[in-house]
Structure 1
Amino acid sequence: MTIHKTLLVHEQDNIMVALQDLPKGSELPFKAAYIKLVDDVPAKHKFALRDFQIGDPVTMYGILVGKAHQAIRKGERITTENVKHATQTPEIKPDFDYQWTSPKPEKVPTFMGYHRPDGKVGTRNNWLVVPLVFCENRNILAIKKALEPHLGYDQQLTEGLEAMVNMAAQGADASQILAQEVQVAKPQSAVDRPFANVDGVRFLTHHAGCGGTRADARLFCQLLVGYLMNPNVGGATLLSLGCQNAQVSMFREVLEEMAPGFNKPLYIHEQQGSPSEEAFIAEAVKSTVLGLSQINQISRQPASVDQLVIGMECGGSDGFSGISANPVLGKISDKMVAFGGSSILAEFPELNGVEQHLLDRCMDRKDAYRFQHLMMEYGEKARAAGSGFEANPSPGNIKDGLITDAMKSAGAAKKGGGAPISSVLDYTEQVVKKGLNLLFTPGNDVESTTALAGSGATLILFSTGLGTPTGNPATPVIKVSSNSILAKRMPDIIDFNAGGIISGIQSVEESADVLMDHIIRVASGEQLTCSEQLNQDDFIPWRKDLSL
């Protein structure tokens, strides 16, 4: 096996990626000559392939990702001091002339899913317990505390915990307390649960539903309706206080607009119309148990993989994300399009700098204009707040080699593969067209995954180079590591390792084939994701305010 030290991502690039730590003075082959490093270059970072003067363009992935802010010597490390964010100015071409060669699947796979009356197929059969307003968060937790011990889904620190508490109460010193073993009690298997065909009861809390504007409240109702429409959701219990902006009447109006003829079990309770909090919680508990008995009647049946809607997400990205994990997700996206299914690319602040490539791929020119408008409008909002897309990379991103937002975006966009774009959706709009969809979301990981599930994603692929526990209450989140070090260090949150691409033991295509098999197992309920095993149900509604 040949272990490569560097990677030239695109033949037009003038910077190169270090695949391992490279000491100052290293002589590295490039074309017919050698480049001598004038700095130590850590793995995931980049170095100059030529001398740069101030203002010279810096290219990676074949596109502009920055400009030299200082003179840079050949072999010098690329940093936030010597390179600043810069992007190409995009333009919309009058005609769609994008060429793409679709992969030719020999056979369309099947999975075992939940068939809904509207023709959609879910990968899970979940029940949601959700407040219409944050004032009800405490009651959501009270219902959770009452129900969970009897349902078999919860995961608690149990074995050894009582002994540790008693030791502490009796004055044990810190070393004795910290040395006490505490074991995690795993959730029961489906055959041991009272509702074997219900994959989970998800108790959501949030900070939405009141305050802000009426438009915020309506947007939140649209998000909740999107969750109820998701085929992974069998039904829901909603708690209302009664006086909040997100009124039950507003919710029902949005439900009728977005899902006319909605026929899943739905129970809504309003506290200000109840004689007591105790009675209010009791009624919500009873209706939830009734709802569980109703959705327990459905069981998994075979379905073609083209019924899946796969959302693409990245978070805690590193300098390897754009050359390993994200291209693997892109291959999955292209496979889904070839199968006749759907995929979703989101996080618009992380598409800054690759707009031209995405505009060229919009099959409908109206979608191209819509994408351009959403990007420009959000960019203006960021500038009005004294920021901009260039502020998107986090300290962790920068530390691990993502120096500019354009560099980060060029790698992030790889999650969308190369297929034409069938539609551009605003926040909370539903996926209705097969193919690759662009969804307007912020760069914030949890706000974006919340949005993906709210627009119909039945499975989410989440690439990461630094590690994140993010999950979702409605949709399984498969965490894909960009490097093997992370996969070994955090095996309880990483589902799939694409690090073999960096070490040279596996190609992007081979990794995607293995991941596709994993997707089928997760979609069929044969395998829980790490975030599901940890009960990581992250839910953050977005108000469409600035969130890079």
Structure 2
Amino acid sequence: MKRSILKVHPHDNVVVALTDLKKGETVQDNGQSYTLYDDVPAKHKFTETALKAGEPITMYGVLVGKAKQDLPAGARIGTDNVQHAASGFQLAPQRKTAWHQPDIAHWKDRTFLGYHRADGTVGTGNYWLVIPMVFCENRNVEVLKEALTDALGYGRPKKYADFAKQLATQFQQGASKESIIETIYTENETASQQARVFPNVDGIKFLTHEGGCGGIRQDAQTLCGLLAGYITHANVAGATVLSLGCQNAQITMLQDEIKKRSPNFSKPLYILDQQSIGTEQAMVSAAIKQTFAGLIEANSLTRQPTPLSKLTIGLECGGSDGFSGISANPAIGYTSDLLVALGGSVILAEFPELCGVEQEMSDRCVQETDALRFIQLMRTYEQRAEDAGSGFDMNPSPGNIKDGLITDAIKSAGAAKKGGTSPVVEVLDYPQQVKKPGLNLLCTPGNDVESTTAEVGAGATIVLFTTGLGTPTGNPVSPVIKLSSNTKLFQKMPDIIDINTGTIIDGDETIQQAGERILEHVIQVASGTLPAKSVLNGQDDFIPWKRGVSL
């Protein structure tokens, strides 16, 4: 029988409603009975016992808030009666790096089909990049996109343009506003794509941005580090870079950042400087010719069998709900543990969403220096937010709150489950690159696209992205696999969600079973045999973080 409630941790004093509960209803779990003082919608929490004003609220075994007023047993908690609170943290005298490794017997000889690079990394895709050094070159990038995309067979069916033409025809034929609004969209089944000129190149990606000049010089250095992370990325075959010439983000700065990440860099890289070349025609025609030459070289690569240890997985969440921390996040946490046990790398980011679990994460750092670095990064980040008149307590979005994540500590304690239980092998600051197998912490905002952009820049060749409310976020070069925390969302948005972990809430699957199913899915996506929905939808989100306050 499906459970109606869940007490996540033995030390918790709140209980999660798995279904809508009514005031006065009595529910049971593990031999314990609870009578509801309020209506409690699914995903929300209610008090296990009566609490006095100021008493702590505990969930996932950690402090997540304090009661603003006296609360009876069975009371629904919300922003009206609970305020954010989190435990302090400091460097512990001993590391806590012991963990129970999952059984990997089934996986140790498994492989995926990847693109092998000269530096020893292996990609799950094979892309060519066109990148501006500064926003002044965005228009030239768009001109190249217009010239190359359809001509080389990378264009997408213009199904909505066909729909707009249909409405225009109806209007020209005298249709009323009301009849046009009532027109039902039907997908054009006859739409087809041109065959690719370069079948072994998955796409040409055009990364426009608003940086490279203005701001402070550190912004330019950080941007060059991020762009270098993409150029040296295992999923990237080569790049065409457009420079104006006078911007803060100089070509030499980018070249230095590339050398930091790949001392023996050997991919084709074409750099064009507009102020040196002259006219737009000369600039764009040269870029087209050089890009075409690079694509010929990139097309010579084919997928080869590769051990799973060569995978680097980014762990992300966005549009989270009250089920995220008990279904989707722990499920990919188990996938993370499997991959770490196999010798692969995983990246846990979104530092504002590690608020309240800092002690656990710092204790899990193998090296004391990394524990200290994590503590320093977290304290500096929160102080900057407070100096700007904000704070981590303002991180939950209206959607988070509406669906049960009423304090940042509740959101964070559930978000941290994405990282599984393995030790932290290194703490990285944005935009550093992952170098070690195992669990890596990367300082990024909680903002979905900024964080995903950063994880891929750090080397993630696939991103596992959990959501309870739904989000179309993707990335230009790495597949972003979307996982729903609840079955209702999976059924509502099948065009953007790849995997349903609501099966855990429904009682049809354990966290371990879901984690293994996710890894099977990852292998197919990594091999190019199963496209992620974000790739099918052409969701190429790319937003560099300017290191300002972004939660």
Q: TM-score, normalised by structure 1?
A: 0.97
Q: State how far apart, in whole Å, the 1-side matches of 2:142 and 2:295 are.
A: 18
Tell me which amino acid in the other structure corresponds to 1:539: F
Percent identity between matched residues is 53
SS in structure 1 of the partner of residue 508 of structure 2: coil
1:507 matched to 2:510: yes
How many corresponding residue pairs? 546
SS in structure 1 of the partner of residue 128 of structure 2: strand
Q: Is the 8 A contact 1:326 1:411 kept in 2?
A: yes
1:133 corresponds to? 134
Which of 481, 492, 497 is the equivalent residue of 2:495? 492
Which of 457, 460, 464 is the equivalent residue of 2:463? 460
Q: State how far apart, in whole Å, the 1-side matches of 2:192 and 2:441 are.
A: 38
Q: State how far apart, in whole Å, the 2-side matches of 1:171 and 1:212 are.
A: 53
Q: State how far apart, in whole Å, the 2-side matches of 1:32 and 1:163 are.
A: 61
1:518 corresponds to? 521
| 1:91–1:160 Cα change, 3 Å | closer
Shift of 1:145: 1.2
Q: State how far apart, in whole Å, the 1-side matches of 2:172 and 2:262 are.
A: 55
Q: Is the 8 A contact 2:119 2:262 kept in 1?
A: no
2:115 corresponds to? 114
1:105 corresponds to? 104
The range that moved more, 256-265 or 296-305, is: 256-265
| 1:512–1:32 Cα change, 3 Å | closer
How does 1:358-377 map onto structure 2 within 5 Å? 358-377=361-380
How does 1:186-265 map onto structure 2 within 5 Å? 192-265=195-268
Shift of 1:169: 4.5
1:482 matched to 2:485: yes
Q: State how far apart, in whole Å, the 1-side matches of 2:433 and 2:144 are.
A: 30
1:443 corresponds to? 446
Query: Deviations along 1:299-357, whole A, 9 cap, x unmatched?
Result: 00000010000010000000000000000110011001110111110000000000111
Tell me which amino acid in the other structure corresponds to 1:183: E
1:316 matched to 2:319: yes
SS in structure 2 of the partner of residue 331 of structure 1: helix
Q: State how far apart, in whole Å, the 2-side matches of 1:527 and 1:187 are.
A: 21
Q: Is the 8 A contact 1:154 1:187 kept in 2?
A: no
Instruction: Name stretches of at least 5 consecutive residues in structure 1 with no aligned partner.
Output: none
Q: Is the 8 A contact 1:393 1:404 kept in 2?
A: yes
Shift of 1:122: 0.3
SS in structure 2 of the partner of residue 547 of structure 1: coil
Tell me which amino acid in the other structure corresponds to 1:124: G
| 1:307–1:322 Cα change, 3 Å | same
Query: Deviations along 1:151-203, whole A, 9 cap, x unmatched?
Result: 2222222545434333334553234434164536899789x311110011111
1:425 matched to 2:424: no
Q: Is the 8 A contact 1:160 1:180 kept in 2?
A: no
Q: Is the 8 A contact 2:486 2:505 kept in 1?
A: yes
Which of 384, 392, 408 is the equivalent residue of 1:389? 392
| 1:69–1:186 Cα change, 3 Å | farther
Q: State how far apart, in whole Å, the 1-side matches of 2:53 and 2:358 are.
A: 25
1:92 corresponds to? 91
Q: Is the 8 A contact 1:228 1:236 kept in 2?
A: yes
1:15 corresponds to? 14
Q: Is the 8 A contact 1:161 1:182 kept in 2?
A: no
Shift of 1:33: 4.9
Q: Is the 8 A contact 1:324 1:508 kept in 2?
A: yes
Tell me which amino acid in the other structure corresponds to 2:121: K
Shift of 1:78: 0.4
| 1:300–1:497 Cα change, 3 Å | same
| 1:477–1:186 Cα change, 3 Å | farther
Shift of 1:70: 1.1
| 1:324–1:163 Cα change, 3 Å | same
1:24 corresponds to? 23
| 1:354–1:186 Cα change, 3 Å | farther
Q: State how far apart, in whole Å, the 2-side matches of 1:167 and 1:28 are.
A: 57
SS in structure 2 of the partner of residue 323 of structure 1: coil
SS in structure 2 of the partner of residue 438 of structure 1: strand
Query: Deviations along 1:260-282, whole A, 9 cap, x unmatched?
Result: 22111111112222332233222
Q: Is the 8 A contact 1:51 1:74 kept in 2?
A: yes
Q: Is the 8 A contact 1:226 1:430 kept in 2?
A: yes
Q: Is the 8 A contact 2:127 2:202 kept in 1?
A: yes
1:333 matched to 2:321: no
| 1:290–1:183 Cα change, 3 Å | farther
1:355 corresponds to? 358
| 1:30–1:521 Cα change, 3 Å | closer
Q: Is the 8 A contact 1:350 1:405 kept in 2?
A: yes
Query: Deviations along 1:451-499, whole A, 9 cap, x unmatched?
Result: 0000000110000000000000111100010000000000010000000
Tell me which amino acid in the other structure corresponds to 2:148: L
Q: State how far apart, in whole Å, the 2-side matches of 1:255 and 1:280 are.
A: 23
Tell me which amino acid in the other structure corresponds to 2:114: G
Tell me which amino acid in the other structure corresponds to 2:59: M
2:149 corresponds to? 148
Quote the RMSD (CA, aligned, Å).
1.7
Q: Is the 8 A contact 2:6 2:29 kept in 1?
A: no
Tell me which amino acid in the other structure corresponds to 1:112: L
Tell me which amino acid in the other structure corresponds to 1:24: K
Tell me which amino acid in the other structure corresponds to 1:518: H
| 1:103–1:189 Cα change, 3 Å | farther
Q: State how far apart, in whole Å, the 1-side matches of 2:186 and 2:278 are.
A: 42
Q: State how far apart, in whole Å, the 2-side matches of 1:231 and 1:476 are.
A: 13
Q: State how far apart, in whole Å, the 2-side matches of 1:186 and 1:367 are.
A: 56
| 1:33–1:351 Cα change, 3 Å | closer
Query: Deviations along 1:220-247, whole A, 9 cap, x unmatched?
Result: 0000001111100111111111221112
Q: State how far apart, in whole Å, the 1-side matches of 2:505 and 2:469 are.
A: 15
Shift of 1:96: 2.0
Which of 161, 173, 176 is the equivalent residue of 1:173? 176
SS in structure 2 of the partner of residue 286 of structure 1: helix
Which of 273, 277, 286 is the equivalent residue of 1:274? 277
Which of 178, 184, 187 is the equivalent residue of 1:183? 187
| 1:480–1:94 Cα change, 3 Å | same
Tell me which amino acid in the other structure corresponds to 2:360: H
| 1:180–1:502 Cα change, 3 Å | closer
The range that moved more, 195-204 or 24-33, is: 24-33
SS in structure 2 of the partner of residue 150 of structure 1: coil
1:64 corresponds to? 63
Q: Is the 8 A contact 2:425 2:439 kept in 1?
A: yes
SS in structure 1 of the partner of residue 271 of structure 2: strand
Instruction: Name stretches of at least 5 consecutive residues in structure 2 with no aligned partner.
Output: none
Shift of 1:48: 0.5
